[in-house]
Amino acid sequence: MQNYKITLLKGDITKVKADAIVNAANSGMLEGGGVDGAIRYAAGKSLLEECIKLRKEKIPDGLKTGEAIQTKAYNLPAKIIIHTVGPKYYSEDIGLLKNCYINCLKLAEENNCESIAFPAISTGAYGCPIEKSAKIVKEVLSNYIARSLKEENFKVLYSQKDYDVYNKEFA
């Protein structure tokens, strides 16, 4: 196994310098709030234009829960943005959250990314408890690292509470 590092950061994911930044997108790949809104604002209007084109050409029915797709990063300090749709906690299988992280990691590898920054997918408007999220992320990263991952992973948590939960889980 190569050297691999998981770094927990508290702050704004749009300021993190990583090869890939993950967006907790909505299925329509159009403008949303929370992390999605922050990433879109920081990346600039060209991101929306690319997402509209993707909707027309590649995902006319929208991005499915657990899937991931990439775009250019535009004004962000990254090579690419990887968009994924997390599950809605009270109406979808929370196991799909694993797919979000796995599919993002696969896209990062396919694009020769050496670092990737994740938000806490599904923990905002989609209602996944941060404690459940932390356990799922730890499991996914542990299994993925054991197979082949060679990147640095930044887990970027916006609030101190979320940071504290993840810090305890990954301690």
Contact 64, 97 (CB under 8 A): no
Predicted confidence at residue 2, as pLDDT, reads 45
- How many domains would you assign to the chain? 1
Q: What is the CATH number of the domain that holds 70?
A: 3.40.220.10
pLDDT at residue 85 is higher than 80: yes
Q: Encoding tokens for residue 104?
A: 């993002």
Q: Is 61 a catalytic residue?
A: no
The model's pLDDT over 40-71, given as tens digits with 9 standing for 90+, comes to 999 999 999 999 999 999 999 999 999 999 99
- Across 11-100, where does the E strand assignment appear? 20-24, 68-72, 80-84
Strand partners, 68: 84
- The predicted model gives 158-168 an average pLDDT of 91
The model's pLDDT over 87-146, given as tens digits with 9 standing for 90+, comes to 999 999 999 999 999 999 999 989 998 888 999 999 999 999 999 999 999 898 877 765
Candidate list 12, 36, 61, 164, residue with the active-site label: 36
Which residue segment(s) compose the domain that 155 sits in? 5-170
